[in-house]
Amino acid sequence: MALRLEHKKQIVAEVNEAAGTAMSAVLADYRGLTAGQMTVMRVKARETGVYVRVVRNTLAKRAVEGTEYECLSDCFTGPTLLAFSQEDPGAAARLLKDLAKEHDALEVKALAVGGELLAADQIDRLAMLPTRDEAIALLMSVMNAPIGKFVRTVNEIPGKLVRVVAAVGDKKQAES
Give the DSSP letter of residue 86. S
User: 5-129 architecture in CATH?
Assistant: 2-Layer Sandwich (3.30)
Question: H helices of 31-131, where?
Answer: 35-48, 57-64, 91-102, 123-127
Q: What is the DSSP secondary structure assignment for residue 82, as one 8-state letter?
A: E
Q: What is the pLDDT of residues 14-34, one digit of tens each?
A: 888 888 888 888 888 888 888
The yes-or-no verdict on residue 70 having pLDDT over 80 is yes
Q: pLDDT digit string (tens) for 163-175?
A: 888 888 888 888 8
The mean per-residue pLDDT over the stretch 39-61 comes to 88
117 or 44: whose pLDDT is higher?
44
Let me know: does 113 contact 26? Beta carbons within 8 Å: no
Cα–Cα nearest to 51, from 60, 31, 105:
60
Q: What pTM does this model have?
A: 0.69
**66: phi > 0 → left, psi -120 to 50 → alpha, else beta; which?**
left
Which amino acid, residue 102?
E
With contact defined as beta carbons under 8 Å apart, do 136 and 144 qualify? no
Residue 129 has pLDDT above 80, yes or no: no
Grade residue 1 by pLDDT with cuts at 50, 70 and 90: low
pLDDT at 21: 84
Per the prediction, the chain carries an average pLDDT of 84
- Average pLDDT for 43-49: 88
Residues 94-122: pLDDT tens digits?
Answer: 888 888 888 887 888 888 888 788 777 77
Average pLDDT rounded to a whole number, residues 55-65 = 87
Q: Is 24 helix (H, G, I), strand (E, B) or coil?
A: strand
User: What ranges do the domains of the chain cover?
Assistant: 5-129, 130-176
- Distance between CA atoms of residues 68 and 127, nearest Å: 19
Higher pLDDT, 83 or 123: 83
Where is average pLDDT lowest: 11-15, 23-27, 134-138?
134-138
Helix extents (H) in the chain:
5-21, 35-48, 57-64, 91-102, 123-127, 132-175
DSSP letter for 87, please.
S
